[in-house]
């Protein structure tokens, strides 16, 4: 079993919808949780990160961590075609290494 | 954008030849990483560095070596390229091991 599980999708939703992207993880010691966005043929770019449990909001994006259930979520409000990309979750372990999910491909249909 | 440059961006090489990929940063970040990304596998860590001349192996280090003689440069060498090393290679940098910033990637094809 992988340390971080993420549905690869693709997830296709209409423009303007609320998108929910999720990961589960197995290591209860993870404290930092990153979300990256990767456009086709580009390097991943950091969207946001959270520390421990709770929510963090940045514009249309909200990251949520529930450590009790080992569940990580990224919500996108008012989704736009430009949000079409692959989204990767990556908790950080105690050795400062990022443990990557496989990524979920998101398609926003105009 | 973080100042990170990978070269070359594309390369085709023959099986058995040595190949070196370069990562150059202008951010003076301590940590540097080499990943490969393949369909169905996501990002996998090859090697990383936590300072000049300080490097360590990642989960898929066999067949790869690295060197970091200056803060700004991190080299990845495929000693004798094989077709299984056909992949997209990403370099990443991090100042304190939390946020990582990625280069644009190098597409390597081994024929």
CA B105 to chain centre: 9
Hey, CA dihedral for B76, B50, A42, B39, is it positive or negative?
positive
Tell me which residue in A44, A49, A88 faces B98 most closely, judged by beta carbons.
A49
B100 contacts A46? CB cut-off 8 A: yes
Mean pLDDT in chain B?
94
Instruction: Tell me the per-residue pLDDT of B37-69, one tens digit each, with 9 for 90 and over.
Output: 998 788 999 999 999 999 999 999 999 999 999
Cβ-Cβ contacts under 8 Å for B71 (sequence gap 6 or more): B25, B28, B30, B52
Instruction: Give the tokens for residue B49.
Output: 């560095």
Cα Dmax for chain A? 42
Instruction: Tell me which chain A residues have a C-beta less than 8 angstroms from the C-beta of B92.
Output: 43
Q: What are phi and psi of B85, to 5 degrees?
A: -95, 5
A41: tokens are 């043929």
What is the per-residue pLDDT across B86-104, written as a single tens digit (0 to 9) for each? 999 999 999 876 788 999 9
Q: Kindly tell me if the per-residue pLDDT of B1 is higher than 60.
A: no
Percentage of chain A beyond pLDDT 90 is 84
Cα of B41 to nearest chain A Cα, Å: 6
Render pLDDT for A47-103 as a digit per residue (tens, 0 to 9).
999 988 889 999 999 999 999 999 999 999 999 999 999 999 999 988 888 999 999
Q: What is the per-residue pLDDT across A7-27, written as a single tens digit (0 to 9) for each?
A: 989 999 999 999 999 999 999
For B80-92, give one letter per residue: b (16+ CB within 10 A) or e. ebeeebbbbbbbb
Q: The sheet that has A4-5: what strands, in order across it? A: A4-5, A19-25, A71-76, A61-66, A54-58
**Which residues are registered as beta bridge partners of B55?**
B49
């Amino acid at each position: 079993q992988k340390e971080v599980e993420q549905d690869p999708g693709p997830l296709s939703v209409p423009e303007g919808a609320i998108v929910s992207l999720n990961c589960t993880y197995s290591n209860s010691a993870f404290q930092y949780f990153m979300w990256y966005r990767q456009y086709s043929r580009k390097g991943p770019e950091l969207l946001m990160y959270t520390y421990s449990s709770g929510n963090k909001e940045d514009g249309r994006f909200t990251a949520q961590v529930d450590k009790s259930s080992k569940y990580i979520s990224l919500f996108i409000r008012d989704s736009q075609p430009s949000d079409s990309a692959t989204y990767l979750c990556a908790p950080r372990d105690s050795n400062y290494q990022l443990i990557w999910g496989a990524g979920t491909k998101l398609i926003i249909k105009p | 954008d973080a100042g990170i440059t990978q070269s070359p961006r594309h390369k085709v090489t023959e099986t058995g030849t040595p190949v070196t990929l370069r990562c150059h940063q202008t951010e003076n970040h301590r940590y540097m990483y080499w990943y490969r990304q393949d369909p169905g596998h996501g990002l996998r860590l090859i090697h990383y560095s936590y300072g000049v001349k300080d490097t360590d192996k990642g989960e898929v280090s066999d067949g790869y070596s690295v060197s970091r003689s200056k803060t700004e440069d991190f080299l990845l060498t495929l000693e004798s390229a094989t077709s299984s090393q056909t992949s997209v290679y990403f370099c990443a940098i991090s100042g304190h091991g939390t946020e990582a910033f990625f280069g644009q990637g190098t597409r390597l094809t081994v024929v």
